[in-house]
């Protein structure tokens, strides 16, 4: 595979079809788990063909935690937060009505189950505890699922503080138990009548669950996990050695659990050669059996009854390890390199799927899995099915990430990786907000924070997915897109006209199709369409008619492509332009573009703040009004180049003069030809066809400083006269009314100052 076209015409379709197959199975699995949930008794342990589900008098704490967590994840309401290595991939359901209904029902059922579990694990005094006839009291397995449920779920109702205290208490105790020497003490069977008959057998699954709980529990001070790290490292190398010895004690499950445990306790111990060697051994084990059958139990009885992990827990652990190691990497990821490993396991799992109709109505179809240690074709084990659902979700994420990485790498688009540490939007807003003096509607960073950042981070408030960012050249439209991506922890993908012209003019439409196939494969990203006006021009203008025919044909197609990208709701895209009034109205229509922002140059306060930031604290007192006024219409990049390492009282005048003499990309004079004149104004035209608001805002900024507009020469009289003519074209004679018509959202006192100046001309 050497080119994007090779992938898009070949393996891409295989991968996409597998994603569709996974989504269909996720849908049916969720429908099964939802349909057998009882609001009083929770879930049954199993569903048997021809027999109505049977419920226990008391709910199973471990099963309820497992199934509820898997449904929260499927519904997209599980936000990993600090749970490293897990990235959401957009919706796991298609956009059909059935998909939307199932997603909503899954979320509703998960919330009901969580509340049922919360109440069932509280005693009369409000103290929390868990109990299991298999695992004992407050066991490490239930604790791991409960901790992930509490810490990761968005909008979880009820008071979970007693449960958090319970989890933190036992996480702290267990983290101090050396895994080999104190393994038995990780369980407590004292409350069971036959507690003495349950013997813990050292198995890496349990220390792994302890480490997962410690990670998720939010302990005030992280415990020392060195004994766990040594255990995982030693056992992993032992298993690698056993793998090369025939008829040895090799256990692929132990190997997988130790790999994840080592990544969680000390990630830098796992270098790429060690990880690749481990995955090679697991791939080799698949040659004998498609699934990784554990050979070592973690519980046993005196009569020889044993409890083993199941292979889907192994597969899930390997998937998590790939996510942990890869993070947000784009190239050479172990996830993409080992897609075949999980594809083969999925084929085996899919072949073992149990399906039958419900006895009550004969119409409801059950889809699930039974334990591979039992292998009954007429039984669905609910807890096993929940873990298979976890696999389906994780494999879906990995496959979607593989498609996204592959297409993006081959496309050679400009790509900016997310930062290792996500900055707060409040700090970004404080530094970059350009024009507060005009009023809140023009505080673009504040509005982006409310409209985009808040919704995408908390996953509760409605999200916006697209914006049109326009304004004079050099005002930082690219910077705004970069900062949005940084705040969300997303990569930034930039698309320019050059990306459409890679294959020449004759291939523009084919290239456009490929570009949007790449973008359609991405999720949790910010896409910047940077000045692609040529493909988006208003079709009713002479400018559109005058351009090359191939570009004219592009606009209708771009309408559909942008509409589809918006409807997918997987990423944020930003259309940045210097000329909003030239863009086809259909592009700007609600449904394609959620928000429109006019991004202006800094006002005086913004320039002073930025100059002080660039020059350092020691220069703060030397940043005079003259410097701030002389830097009118200079953007961040201009200021960065103009501001010396230190501003003093001695060099302040020279700094101001240097700034005054710098060239500007933002000029009011440019509006002389951008505002309507008698020859180009048509009766009945809307004012939105002309950049009237932008002109008034720039004029307001130029008039902010005392006499700045006059002695700096920033105001162009011809442009002002053209604005007044435009007002008359729209039937207005009063200049104050003209200013209000053009920019009704500007502060009243600012509007009055602008009108006063225009009246003086």
Residue 97 has pLDDT above 90, yes or no: no
Q: What is the DSSP letter of 451?
A: I
Q: pLDDT at residue 264 above 50?
A: yes
Q: List the chain domain ranges.
A: 4-410, 413-598, 603-666, 674-760
Strands 136-137 and 131-132: antiparallel
Among 420, 573, 431, 422, residue whose Cα is nearest residue 487:
422
Q: What CA–CA distance (Å, rounded) separates 57 from 279?
A: 44
Residue 128 main-chain phi, psi, to 5 deg: -95, 145
Query: What is the pLDDT of the chain when averaged over all its residues?
Result: 90
The confidence score (pLDDT) of residue 682 equals: 59
3-state helix, strand, coil in the chain (%, to 5): 55, 10, 35
**Are 4-410 and 413-598 equal in CATH topology?**
no
User: Residue 442 above 50 pLDDT?
Assistant: yes
Q: Which pLDDT band holds residue 344 (cuts at 50, 70, 90)?
A: very high
Question: Domain 4-410 adopts which CATH fold?
Answer: Glycosyltransferase (1.50.10)
Residues 74/92, Cβ–Cβ less than 8 Å: yes
Give the bridge partners for 78, in sequence order: 153
Token pair of 215 as six digits = 């990670």
Lowest mean pLDDT across 3-7, 507-511, 676-680: 676-680
Give the count of beta carbons closer than 10 Å to the beta carbon of residue 340: 10
Distance of alpha carbon 248 from alpha carbon 233, whole angstroms: 19
For the whole model, what pTM was predicted? 0.88
pLDDT band at 621 (very low <50, low <70, confident <90, very high): low
Please state the separation of Cα 733 from the chain's center in Å.
Answer: 51
Handedness of CA 203, 396, 379, 36 (dihedral sign): positive
Q: How far apart are CA 421 and CA 69, in angstroms?
A: 27
Lowest-pLDDT range of 165-169, 248-252, 260-264: 248-252
Segment 361-375, tens digit of pLDDT: 666 789 999 988 887
Fold entry, domain 413-598: Rossmann fold (3.40.50)
Largest Cα span, the chain = 101
Burial of 50 from C-beta contacts in 10 A (0-12 / 13-18 / 19+): exposed
The whole-number pLDDT of residue 557 equals 86
Q: Please answer whether residues 667 and 633 qualify as being in contact, where contact means their C-beta atoms are separated by less than 8 angstroms.
A: yes
List pLDDT tens digits, range 174-186.
Answer: 999 999 899 999 9
Enclosing H/E stretch for 343: helix 339-351
Percent of the chain surpassing pLDDT 70: 92
pLDDT digits (tens, 9 = 90+) for 299-343: 998 888 889 999 999 999 999 999 999 988 888 999 999 999 999
Q: Do 705 and 672 contact (CB within 8 A), yes or no?
A: no
């Amino acid at each position: 595979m050497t080119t994007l076209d090779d992938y898009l015409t070949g393996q891409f379709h295989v991968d996409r079809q597998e994603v569709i197959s996974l989504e269909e199975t996720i849908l049916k699995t969720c429908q099964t788990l939802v349909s057998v949930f009882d609001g009083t008794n929770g879930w049954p342990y199993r569903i048997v063909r021809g027999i109505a589900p049977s419920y226990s008098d008391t709910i199973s704490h471990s099963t309820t935690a497992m199934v509820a967590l898997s449904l929260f994840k499927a519904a997209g309401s599980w936000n990993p937060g600090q749970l490293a290595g897990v990235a959401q991939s957009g919706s796991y359901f298609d956009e059909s009505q059935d998909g939307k209904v199932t997603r909503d029902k899954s979320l509703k059922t998960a919330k009901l189950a969580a509340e049922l579990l919360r109440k069932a694990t509280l005693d009369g005094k409000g103290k929390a505890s868990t109990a299991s006839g298999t695992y004992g009291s407050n066991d490490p397995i239930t604790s791991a699922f409960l901790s992930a449920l509490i810490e990761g779920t968005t909008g979880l109702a009820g008071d979970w503080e007693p449960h958090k205290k319970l989890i933190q208490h036992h996480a702290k105790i267990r983290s101090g138990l050396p895994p080999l020497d104190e393994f038995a003490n990780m369980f407590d069977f004292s409350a069971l009548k036959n507690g003495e008959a349950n013997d813990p057998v050292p198995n890496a699954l349990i220390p792994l669950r302890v480490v997962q709980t410690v990670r998720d529990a939010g302990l005030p001070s992280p415990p020392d996990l060195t004994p766990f790290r040594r255990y995982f490292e030693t056992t992993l190398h032992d298993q690698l050695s056993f793998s090369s010895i025939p008829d040895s004690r090799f256990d692929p499950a132990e190997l997988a659990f130790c790999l994840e445990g080592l990544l969680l306790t000390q990630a830098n111990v796992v270098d790429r050669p060690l990880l690749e060697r481990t995955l090679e051994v697991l791939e080799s084990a698949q040659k004998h059996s498609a699934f990784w059958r554990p050979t070592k139990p973690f519980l046993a009885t005196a009569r020889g009854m044993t409890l083993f992990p199941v292979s889907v827990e192994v597969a899930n652990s390997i998937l998590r390890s790939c996510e942990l190691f890869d993070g947000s990497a784009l190239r050479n990821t172990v996830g993409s390199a080992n897609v075949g490993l999980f594809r083969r396991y999925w084929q085996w799992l899919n072949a073992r799927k149990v399906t039958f109709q419900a006895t009550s109505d004969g119409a409801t179809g059950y889809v699930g899995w039974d334990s591979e240690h039992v292998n009954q074709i007429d039984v669905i084990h609910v807890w096993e099915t929940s873990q298979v659902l976890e696999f389906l979700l994780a494999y879906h994420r990995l496959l979607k990430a593989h498609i996204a990485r592959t297409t993006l790498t081959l496309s050679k688009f400009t790509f900016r990786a997310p930062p290792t540490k996500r900055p707060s939007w409040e700090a970004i807003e404080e530094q970059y907000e350009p024009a507060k003096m005009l009023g809140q509607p023009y505080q673009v960073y504040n509005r982006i924070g409310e409209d985009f950042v808040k919704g995408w981070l908390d996953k509760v408030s409605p999200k916006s997915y697209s914006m049109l960012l326009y304004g004079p050249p050099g005002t930082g439209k690219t910077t705004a897109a970069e900062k949005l991506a940084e705040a969300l922890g997303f990569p930034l993908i930039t698309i320019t006209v050059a990306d459409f012209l890679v294959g020449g003019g004759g291939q523009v439409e084919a290239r456009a199709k490929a570009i949007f196939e790449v973008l359609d494969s991405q999720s949790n990203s910010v896409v910047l369409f940077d000045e692609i006006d040529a493909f988006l021009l208003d079709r009713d203008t002479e400018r559109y008619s005058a351009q090359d025919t191939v570009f004219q044909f592009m606009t209708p197609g771009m309408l559909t492509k942008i509409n589809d990208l918006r409807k997918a709701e997987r990423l944020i895209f930003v259309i940045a332009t210097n000329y909003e009034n030239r863009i086809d109205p259909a592009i700007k229509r609600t449904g394609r573009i959620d928000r429109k922002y006019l991004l202006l140059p800094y006002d005086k306060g913004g320039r002073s703040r930025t100059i002080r930031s660039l020059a350092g604290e020691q220069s703060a007192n030397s940043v005079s009004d003259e410097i701030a006024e002389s830097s009118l219409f200079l953007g961040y990049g201009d200021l960065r180049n103009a501001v010396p390492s230190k501003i003093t009282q001695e060099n302040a005048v020279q700094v101001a003069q240097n700034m005054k003499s710098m060239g500007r990309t933002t000029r009011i004079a440019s509006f002389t030809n951008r505002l309507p004149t008698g020859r180009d104004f048509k009766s009945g035209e809307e004012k939105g066809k002309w950049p009237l608001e932008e002109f008034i805002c720039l004029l307001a900024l130029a008039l902010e400083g005392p006499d700045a507009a006059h002695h700096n020469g920033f105001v162009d009289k011809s442009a002002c006269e053209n604005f007044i003519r435009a007002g008359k074209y729209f039937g207005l004679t009063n200049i104050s009314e003209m200013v209000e018509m053009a920019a009704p959202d500007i502060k009243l006192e600012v509007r009055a100052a602008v009108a006063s100046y225009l009246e003086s001309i």
